[in-house]
Structures are given as C-alpha cells and as structure tokens.
Chain A
C-alpha cells in the first residue's frame, strides 16, 4: 500500500500536476472571491427527496457526460494518436435510439415505461454507438485515415441520422426511472450521473486490471512497428478503442436524454467533442498518443466544468463565458507545454544543486 502511494507520487504526479494545480487554483480563487461558493446544503427537490445541493455538486454533476466521454477519448487518443470529433453527434444518435426503443416498446405493449424497456433501450443504444464506433475505427485502423478526418464524416452527418430516427420529432419520455437516471434516485442524495461516472471509472480500472489492454494500447500508440513485431494486433487494438468509446458515447447520451426527459437531436451534448479533447489534454495526456492516464482526463473534465460554473457564478453572461474560458485554457495549455515544463524542471534541478552546494560549503566551514 505504501509502495502504491510512493509509485503514484513518483510516476503519476508528473502527468497529473497540471490538472491538480488547476483545480487547486480554481478552489483558491473561489475561496477568495466568495467562500460561500463551496457551501453544500441539503435540500428537497421537486420529488420531495433529500438531496445535496450547491455549486460543487453541480460542477461534479454537470461534468458527468464530459468525464465519461473523456475516458473513452483517452483510449482512442492513446492508441491512434488522434481524436474522435464525432462523439457529440454519435451521442445524439445513441440518445435518439434510446428514446425510439422506449417509444416502440410502449406502443407495442401498450403500457407505461417499464424498467425492462429502459434496459433494452440502453442496450440498443450501446450496440448502435458501438457500431458507429466500429465504423470510425475501421476507417482509422484498417484504412489508415487520420482520425480527425475519419470521424469528420460522422460529425457532419450524425445529427441528421439522429433526426431521421425519430422522424424529426423531439419526443419526450417521462418516467420516474428516467428522472432518477438524470437526477436523483429516491433516498440517495448524490446525483445519479455522478454515480455512473464512478461506475464507469471503476469499470475502466477493472478492464485494465484484468486485461493487458493498457500495455498493448500504449505500445501501439508509442511504436506501432515494434508492437506489431511483438505480435500485437494493432488494427484490433485501435478498433477496440473506438468501440469502447462507443459504449461511453451511449452512456453519455443516455444521461443527457434522461436529464431533460426528451431527445433533442440538435442540442444534445452539442459542442462536447472539443471539450472532451480538451479534458484529455488538460489531463496531461499526449494528443499524439502513447502513454495515458484515464484519471487525468477525468480531472480535466472537472477542471473545465469548474471553470464554467465559476464564470457563471461571477455573473458572466453565457455568450461571454466561452471567451473567458479560452483565456484560462490558453494559460493551462502553455503551462503544460514541454517548453515551460522543461524550464521548471531546470529551475528545480538548479535549486537542488544550489542547496547541495550550500550544504557542502557548510560542511567545509
């Protein structure tokens, strides 16, 4: 256990420095600005449940879809050295399928929404999202198309496909279960999307524990030639990363739909792809592929959301938020750049050298 701890700090912290520092800075900034920003209260929601409320909760809750997509994106980035820009559009498709299947079940069995329908609908959404993931993955892994170009196709047409699925309508699905997925489970004060993030993170952790996917993905991302000559099927690994991202897309889409109780193919998780990529980058992962840390990307997602909520709390209008966000992101990216890192590295080693010199002098005297 102690060893694990040490290992985390010697190897992991390097990569997680930027997201952790950013979160700390945001916390300090908010503490100075308005300590009540962090107040967490227990309130009754519309359904009369006791739930946690406050800015922190809405940050963690609001970043759920982003965090889930960032997990999958990290894997794709690591294996392929590129990003999937179609996740928002694919989530709209998955969400549409989710709603469509529920509607079909209700119609066929002429009944209200039942838990079984929702599970079936979710599974269908997963399958569809995985198929689209496999489509992207095939273009990238088999046809060796640049990931951004390959996924540009689905990025462009995804929301049209979503539009066709429900015949252009934006049907609503209202059921206590759906409300619970997008909001709170009665008796549980923590927002369900947050619980889903934890579950997904644990699933990834288990995936890396019980398979050697992490080692293979990193090998393929760092040196595809060597990976192939060591018997790794890099085509399969790349394809698999897109399929796993597909599952993340389906989960994020389902959460998005459940929050509102309806599918709006035009606005569901709109523009989330760029935030997802940003979360991966802030998490200290190289966008060129190779070594990765899923945890970094999750933290990255929370940094982005915290920034957004902080700006809203400062009464910045929603149109201006993007501009302010950009400024902060420029800072984060520059601080995380190799040039600045190297500079700090040199400062640290210099300081250490000075210290040891002083010690040596002291010893002489």
Chain B
C-alpha cells in the first residue's frame, strides 16, 4: 500500500490577508488512481492545487513525490518534477498546430524538424486514442480535443501527477465520455489524476477516491463507492441532509396567473433567430437546451445585448423599443451574463463599486451615489447574500467564483428589477451557493419579480421553473409545464422525436 503512494502532501498551511485558506491539510494520491478533490468555492481546492503546482508557496507542510521530499518553486518547476496541470481555460496557443503546441517550450534540440515533430505528435495522439492530427491548427479543434491535446502534452512530459481543474465544464456529454476514457487509459498506465469538478455525477462515474475540503480544512478521504452522493454533498457544505432535500419539496413554484410582464414577437438579433416569448409577473421560467442551442443568445436578445434584428416587444402591454442594455435596464430588466469573468465582474474594482454599478448607470452620470450611500448598499447586500469578502473595498477579482457571482446578483438586486434574467448563475460555483441562489430566485418570484433562469443542470431548472422553453439548433422546439416538467420529458424534447 505504502509504495503505491505517488504524492503525499502533509500539514499544508497557507494564509492570505484575512483568510486562512489552508489549515493543516493532508492529501494523498496513489499510482493509477483518479482522485476527486471536492469542496465548495472557497474551501481551499484551488489553493491546494496552486500550492502543488508552485503558483503559491506554502507556509508550512511538506510535499513528497514517490517518497522524496520536494519543494516546488514555480509552475515550470512543478512540470519538471512530474506534476502537470490542465486548466479549465485552455492555456495553449490556438493559432499554432497541435504538434507545435505539444512540444512548444520544451527540449529545443530534439524537434527542429516540423515533419518529425508532427510524426511524433501523431504517435502520441494515436497511442492515447485522441482523434486529432499533429498538423491541425489547434484553434480549429473542438474544446474537448484541445483539452486532450493539453493532456497529451502533459503525458508526453512524463507527468506522474496530472491535475485536471474543471475539465468538463464546457464539454457536452459525448466529449465528457471521450475525456473519461482517456482518463481511464492514463490511470491504467499508472498516472495519478487529481480531478477537480463541480459535477457530482461525473465524480461517481470516473473517480476512485474522494477528498473533501471545507473552509480550508480537511473533512476526510473516502472511497467513492463507499460514500453515497447525498452524504458527499452534506460533507461538502456541512449541512444536514434534511435541509437539502427540503428545498426540493417545499417549492411551491409560482405558476403565476398574473398579468404578462414582458412579451416579444418575432424578436431576433445578430445572434438569435426570431422567436416568441412572454413572461408573467412573478413567474420563473427557463430556457433549456444543449450548449449552442441558442438559449443564451435568446435571452441576450431580450436584454438588447447583441445588435437587435427585429420583432416587437411589449412591457406591461405597452410597446417599447429595446436596442441596447441600458434600454432594458430602464424598463426594469436585469441580466446576469453567462460568462462571469468576461461579461460580469469589473475585477480590479472593489466589491462596493461592483455592487452599485448598474444602479449608478440607471441613475445617470450626473447623480452619483455618494460614498456613504454606496457603503451602506454594499454592506447591506454583503450581509443579505452572505458574500464572503475581507471587506467591501476588496477588489472583486480576488473573491472566489461563487462570491463574485453573488456580487453581480447584488448589483442587479440593487436596481430592484421587475424582471431578472439569470444565465447560468450557478455555473462553476459550489453546492451551497447554488442552493442559496435557487432559494433566492424562488423568493424573488414570491415578491412578484419575473425570473428567467438558464442552467446546464436540468435538475436545478426543474426545481425552480414553472415553465421550460426547450431549444434545439437555435429554434424553440417545445414548452413544458405542469406534469410534463420532469427529467425524462425534458430530455426527450431536447433530443427530439419520441425516443
């Protein structure tokens, strides 16, 4: 057993100003094992990974690889010592070929010849069963293939420990399966894989062992088969099971009978084909469909985020024109964008400034919100949404993903919208925050706010929405409500046909 141990981290300690990110954490990885690292956002997963890859320096503790104590100074150093990481966002060069990407920045002498390089790349890709060729331009490959190329690169560098940080968050089911078979293949070759993800099903599908962190501390290490899914969740969020399941039962979804708040006919934009849509006051509905089915593009059209094509829009029965985001905001619509980093946060500005931004825009340039008022708003929402931040002046970019999302939610809540569009508000955030956001959505609906909710997790949408609009290939293909709102029916409609 002991000689099987590949990587051992002992008593790891790391603090940031105001946060004890890792407190005496142990982690053990064995040869030929897929080990899931689980925890809420802010639990210390990323910090542990960054200590292991040399991005951060630990303050206490030791790291052993195959029994030898090592110290890791930089990501490059970690690679040289056999620890490779493939991040959520691909960090290769999309404009170079697959082969160039695999060998870039490595041994300079062995592959001067591009033909030889491509040949060698093809050998590796074949061996690992990756459907790509060395001569392809990386940017033309699908995200999944790009990720696999990154893995192939790591494997070819003789990595012993492979870290996959949220590798599946932008892949569809088929691609996830491809990735998993590659992971299993590597496992059989003796590579130890650390798998970080938010998708519980995937953990159970592929991992052998699970380590759970919470608030910077080790909760425990478990064999996957011996830990039921519900228990895993309760260990991650430290809440009792009943509380978790209660949300599912107590939801009296608002199948509101009230007046129609928003209505669109033939609405289209540069990105979305014409569609009809309406939402009632206090209603929660959702767009669902596979990635690329046009669900995000449709809600962006509602908010005027892309160039508007045509169609008529009525708010409370009155015809209005929404051609840019500020028009939508003036009519009481808020929009939480899908890509939090790109379209949501202003990373270097403080939590306070991020929270007041939308309200300030609505007030206009000449009515600035005073410092004290802004501080009061920020404090209020930090408390209401339980945002974990060192202070209201902390740059929002240094918060964890879930807390960044809460800041953006706070920004929109502060404008007291009548209609809130939430595009993937729970992506890449922890289970606890997910539940909080779902609860918040239901609470808003009770208060008469209309909400359109988009999520890749159908279960989450079933729990919150009273009506689901299903999209496929950029068209609305169905609308489900009442007793049709169940997983099988949604799947059927997404897939099409009666199968």
Using CB atoms and an 8 Å cutoff, list the residues of chain A in contact with chain B: 10-11, 209-213, 215-216, 218-219, 222-223, 225-233, 290-291, 353
A291-B348 in contact given A225-B343, A230-B325 (Cβ < 8 Å): yes
A-B CB contact pairs (8 Å), 11 listed: A211-B368, A212-B360, A215-B357, A215-B368, A218-B349, A219-B353, A222-B349, A223-B346, A226-B342, A231-B361, A232-B326
B320 within 8 A of A: no
Q: How far is the CA of A353 from the CA of B14 in the complex (A)?
A: 12
Residues of A within 8 A of B329 (CB): 230-231
Taking the closest CB of chain B, its distance from the CB of A205, in whole angstroms, is 13
Taking the closest CB of chain B, its distance from the CB of A204, in whole angstroms, is 14
B347 within 8 A of A: yes
Residues of B within 8 A of A225 (CB): 342-343
Please determine whether A212 and B349 come into contact, CB atoms closer than 8 angstroms.
Answer: no
A212-B365 in contact given A11-B393, A219-B357, A226-B342 (Cβ < 8 Å): yes
Q: How far is the CA of A11 from the CA of B347 in the complex (A)?
A: 16
A230: contacting residue among B348, B358, B363, CB under 8 A: B358
Residues of B within 8 A of A10 (CB): 393
Chain B residue nearest to A240 in the complex (CB): B365
A215: contacting residue among B344, B347, B348, B360, CB under 8 A: B360
Chain A residue nearest to B357 in the complex (CB): A230
B345 within 8 A of A: yes
Residues of A within 8 A of B363 (CB): 212
Residues of B within 8 A of A210 (CB): 366, 368
A229: contacting residue among B325, B353, B369, CB under 8 A: B325
Please determine whether A223 and B337 come into contact, CB atoms closer than 8 angstroms.
Answer: no
Q: How far is the CA of A226 from the CA of B342 in the complex (A)?
A: 7
Which 3 A-B residue pairings sit nearest by Cβ, starting from the closest?
A: A231-B326, A231-B361, A212-B368
A229-B305 in contact given A222-B346, A223-B347, A353-B59 (Cβ < 8 Å): yes
Q: How far is the CA of A223 from the CA of B357 in the complex (A)?
A: 13
Q: How far is the CA of A211 from the CA of B361 in the complex (A)?
A: 11
Q: How far is the CA of A16 from the CA of B203 in the complex (A)?
A: 48
A213-B348 in contact given A228-B325, A231-B329 (Cβ < 8 Å): no
Chain B residue nearest to A208 in the complex (CB): B368
Please determine whether B358 and A231 come into contact, CB atoms closer than 8 angstroms.
Answer: yes
Residues of A within 8 A of B326 (CB): 231-233
B453 within 8 A of A: no
B362 within 8 A of A: yes
Instruction: Report which residue of A10, A209, A210, A229 has the largest number of chain B beta carbons within 10 angstroms of its beta carbon.
Output: A229
* 17 additional A-B residue pairs with CB within 8 Å, beyond A227-B346, A353-B59: A210-B368, A212-B360, A212-B363, A215-B356, A215-B357, A215-B360, A216-B365, A218-B346, A222-B347, A222-B349, A223-B342, A223-B347, A229-B344, A231-B329, A290-B348, A291-B348, A291-B349
A226-B345 in contact given A11-B393, A231-B325 (Cβ < 8 Å): yes
Please determine whether B343 and A229 come into contact, CB atoms closer than 8 angstroms.
Answer: yes
Taking the closest CB of chain A, its distance from the CB of B405, in whole angstroms, is 13
Q: How far is the CA of A227 from the CA of B353 in the complex (A)?
A: 12
Q: How far is the CA of A27 from the CA of B426 in the complex (A)?
A: 55
Residues of B within 8 A of A215 (CB): 349, 353, 356-357, 360, 368
User: B323-344 toward A: CB 8 Å interface, digit per residue (1/0)?
Assistant: 0111001000001010000111
Residues of A within 8 A of B366 (CB): 210-211
Taking the closest CB of chain B, its distance from the CB of A267, in whole angstroms, is 39
Chain A residue nearest to B360 in the complex (CB): A212
Interface size on B, residues (CB 8 A): 32
Residues of A within 8 A of B356 (CB): 215
Q: How far is the CA of A222 from the CA of B361 in the complex (A)?
A: 16
Chain A residue nearest to B353 in the complex (CB): A215
Chain A residue nearest to B326 in the complex (CB): A231
Please determine whether B346 and A211 come into contact, CB atoms closer than 8 angstroms.
Answer: no
Please determine whether B361 and A229 come into contact, CB atoms closer than 8 angstroms.
Answer: no
Q: How far is the CA of A297 from the CA of B331 in the complex (A)?
A: 40
Please determine whether B343 and A226 come into contact, CB atoms closer than 8 angstroms.
Answer: yes
Q: How far is the CA of A77 from the CA of B310 in the complex (A)?
A: 37
Please determine whether B342 and A232 come into contact, CB atoms closer than 8 angstroms.
Answer: no
Residues of A within 8 A of B368 (CB): 209-212, 215
Chain A residue nearest to B408 in the complex (CB): A226
Taking the closest CB of chain B, its distance from the CB of A218, in whole angstroms, is 6
Q: How far is the CA of A223 from the CA of B354 in the complex (A)?
A: 12
Residues of A within 8 A of B337 (CB): 226, 229
Residues of B within 8 A of A353 (CB): 59
Please determine whether A226 and B365 come into contact, CB atoms closer than 8 angstroms.
Answer: no
Q: How far is the CA of A222 from the CA of B350 in the complex (A)?
A: 12
Q: How far is the CA of A210 from the CA of B348 in the complex (A)?
A: 23
Chain B residue nearest to A233 in the complex (CB): B326
Instruction: Report which residue of A223, A229, A230 has the largest number of chain B beta carbons within 10 angstroms of its beta carbon.
Output: A230
Residues of B within 8 A of A219 (CB): 346, 349, 353, 357
Taking the closest CB of chain B, its distance from the CB of A190, in whole angstroms, is 32
B361: contacting residue among A11, A213, A230, A291, CB under 8 A: A230
Chain B residue nearest to A237 in the complex (CB): B365
Please determine whether B343 and A213 come into contact, CB atoms closer than 8 angstroms.
Answer: no
Residues of B within 8 A of A223 (CB): 342, 345-347
Taking the closest CB of chain B, its distance from the CB of A11, in whole angstroms, is 7
A211-B343 in contact given A230-B357, A230-B358, A231-B325 (Cβ < 8 Å): no
Q: How far is the CA of A291 from the CA of B397 in the complex (A)?
A: 13
Q: How far is the CA of A232 from the CA of B342 in the complex (A)?
A: 15
Residues of A within 8 A of B347 (CB): 222-223
Residues of A within 8 A of B353 (CB): 215, 218-219
Q: How far is the CA of A209 from the CA of B393 in the complex (A)?
A: 18
Instruction: Report which residue of B335, B349, B358, B365 has the largest number of chain A beta carbons within 10 angstroms of its beta carbon.
Output: B365
Chain A residue nearest to B300 in the complex (CB): A229
Q: How far is the CA of A222 from the CA of B349 in the complex (A)?
A: 8
Instruction: Report which residue of A210, A211, A218, A223 has the largest number of chain B beta carbons within 10 angstroms of its beta carbon.
Output: A223
Residues of A within 8 A of B325 (CB): 228-231
Q: How far is the CA of A139 from the CA of B481 in the complex (A)?
A: 51
Please determine whether A211 and B393 come into contact, CB atoms closer than 8 angstroms.
Answer: no
Taking the closest CB of chain A, its distance from the CB of B353, in whole angstroms, is 6
Residues of B within 8 A of A291 (CB): 348-349
Within 8 A of A (CB), among B151-187: none
Chain A residue nearest to B334 in the complex (CB): A230
Within 8 A of A (CB), among B295-316: 303, 305
Q: How far is the CA of A211 from the CA of B344 in the complex (A)?
A: 23
Q: How far is the CA of A228 from the CA of B362 in the complex (A)?
A: 13
Residues of A within 8 A of B365 (CB): 211-213, 216
Q: How far is the CA of A218 from the CA of B481 in the complex (A)?
A: 44
Taking the closest CB of chain B, its distance from the CB of A169, in whole angstroms, is 43
Q: How far is the CA of A189 from the CA of B453 in the complex (A)?
A: 67
A226: contacting residue among B59, B346, B360, B369, CB under 8 A: B346
Q: How far is the CA of A353 from the CA of B17 in the complex (A)?
A: 12
Chain B residue nearest to A214 in the complex (CB): B368
A226-B348 in contact given A211-B366, A215-B353, A231-B326 (Cβ < 8 Å): no
Q: How far is the CA of A35 from the CA of B268 in the complex (A)?
A: 73
Q: How far is the CA of A219 from the CA of B355 in the complex (A)?
A: 12
Chain A residue nearest to B395 in the complex (CB): A291
Residues of A within 8 A of B411 (CB): 230
Residues of B within 8 A of A228 (CB): 325
Taking the closest CB of chain A, its distance from the CB of B444, in whole angstroms, is 19
Residues of B within 8 A of A222 (CB): 346-349
Q: How far is the CA of A297 from the CA of B343 in the complex (A)?
A: 30
Q: How far is the CA of A19 from the CA of B353 in the complex (A)?
A: 26
Q: How far is the CA of A232 from the CA of B357 in the complex (A)?
A: 9
Taking the closest CB of chain A, its distance from the CB of B16, in whole angstroms, is 10
Q: How far is the CA of A231 from the CA of B330 in the complex (A)?
A: 9
Q: How far is the CA of A219 from the CA of B347 in the complex (A)?
A: 9
Residues of A within 8 A of B358 (CB): 230-231
